Homo-oligomer: A and B are copies of this chain.
Amino acid sequence: MENLSAIKRIENKVKQIPDAISLAQGIPAFSSHSLIQKEVIKAIMNNKVDKYSPIQGIPELRLIISEKLQLSGMRYDTNTEIIVTAGGIEALSATMLGVIQPGDEVLYLSPAYPYYERIIRMAKGRPVPIPLNEKAGWNLDIDLLKNKITGKTKAIILCNPNNPTGSLLSKKELVTIGILAQRHKFIIISDDIYENFYYKEKPFNLCSLPQFRKQIVRIVSFSKDFALSGWRIGFVHADKELIKKILPIHDCLVNCAPVVSQYAALAALKNEKIILSEYMKIYAKRRLLMGNYLEELSDYLSFIWPGGAYYFFPKIIGVVDSESFCFDILEKVGLGTVPGDDFGPGGKGHMRLCFGKSDSEIIEGMKRLTTYFKKYHMPKPMI
């Protein structure tokens, strides 16, 4: 299916090659936590998951979401400002279809999750990438952003921590974006699905400043941090005026999130501390594991240690067409990685590696990558 993203084409090819392994798609290696499985099975046996829930989601789940948000300084009403969705992607699509009209411009920071562009186009909007500055640690150039704002700008998508770069936007950058959004009347769609993955400071959250609440739609998913990707469960929260635009679209897309998965999310949040502290310790170790292999490859690539998310995004010396490069790696050493081009113009010449996978996959994958570079790739010349 040639109209699929490179990441999906790589993953499809990985499945066809015996012994190939993948550090491509961002799928956590963990199975659903036993605490979650137990609660879900109870809900199934008690016949609680069979019928449509309210469009917004089961009240118990919305209540615990609202309580958790409040602990992070975000006040959102359980009944009118939270919608449980079929994963982060449905939240994003429902938001986009709900808030933009054909021809509206939507900004996003590049390199970016490739679905941003696809979803903007699906909603007949015009995607406007803002390249991040790699040399300054993937920082945002505010003047560049200001130059891209026009009378048609309707929204900006932020991903913090960023996929694929693992970089975090600072409080100062976020507040500046908030002020620009107020001034030019556009919405901030904050895709916070990696919010619990951070290795130094905690990402700052603009929703904790009440003066920006009318400007922000925030998207959260259980796929990555709770390793529930197959369950398709997440949520969106925003001021009720924005939710009024998103809810009828969510209703048209899925009626309600899968109820069985809503119980999985409920169990996840009830046991949040136990589950996340267990997982996040492991991710921190895997970040070091993968990063140390990459340090050894400095003749072939350069990279910035990610402050968040679970990806490395090295720039490969001498590579322009990263798609051919990544398919060549897969063919020669049986390792799946994502071409940087898949993340837009800002990703040119890069590749993405996910350390959400198991230790053994990371070790074997990085060995194969090392073999590939030593055997088939030119090092940085000395002149």
A residues neighboring B (CB under 8 Å)? 1, 3-4, 8, 12, 25, 27, 30-32, 37, 40-41, 44-45, 47, 49-55, 80, 86-87, 89-90, 93, 97, 102, 115, 118-119, 122, 124, 227-233, 244, 247-249, 251-261
Contacts and interface: CB of A to CB of B under 8 A. Distances in A.
B89 A51 contact: no
A32 B52 contact: no
Nearest to A31: B47
A39 to B, nearest CB: 11
Contact of A102 (B8, B12, B102): B102
Contacts of A49: 32, 230-231
A86 B89 contact: no
B232 A4 contact: no
Q: Across chains A and B, which 9 residue pairs bring their CB atoms closest together, nearest first?
A: A230-B259, A31-B47, A258-B258, A232-B258, A32-B50, A51-B230, A52-B229, A50-B230, A31-B50
Q: A97, A122, A124, A252 — which one has the most chain B CB atoms within 10 A of its CB?
A: A252
A55 B87 CA distance: 14
A147 B124 CA distance: 30
B253 A93 contact: yes
Nearest to A262: B230
Contacts of A53: 230
Given A40-B260, A41-B41, 16 more contacts: A1-B244, A3-B247, A8-B55, A31-B47, A32-B47, A49-B231, A50-B227, A86-B253, A87-B254, A90-B254, A97-B122, A102-B124, A115-B252, A230-B256, A232-B257, A233-B258
Contacts of A259: 230-232
A282 to B, nearest CB: 16
B244 A256 contact: no
A254 B227 contact: no
A232 B255 contact: yes
A74 B311 CA distance: 44
A1 B244 CA distance: 7
A93 B122 CA distance: 12
26 contacts: A1-B80, A3-B248, A4-B251, A12-B54, A32-B44, A32-B50, A37-B44, A40-B44, A40-B260, A41-B41, A52-B230, A87-B255, A89-B253, A93-B253, A97-B122, A115-B252, A124-B124, A230-B256, A231-B260, A232-B255, A232-B256, A232-B257, A253-B253, A253-B254, A258-B261, A260-B260
Contacts of A87: 254-255
A60 to B, nearest CB: 14
A248 B249 CA distance: 18
A212 B228 CA distance: 40
A262 to B, nearest CB: 9
B118 A252 contact: yes
Q: A45, A51, A230 — which one has the most chain B CB atoms within 10 A of its CB?
A: A230
A44 to B, nearest CB: 6
Nearest to A97: B122
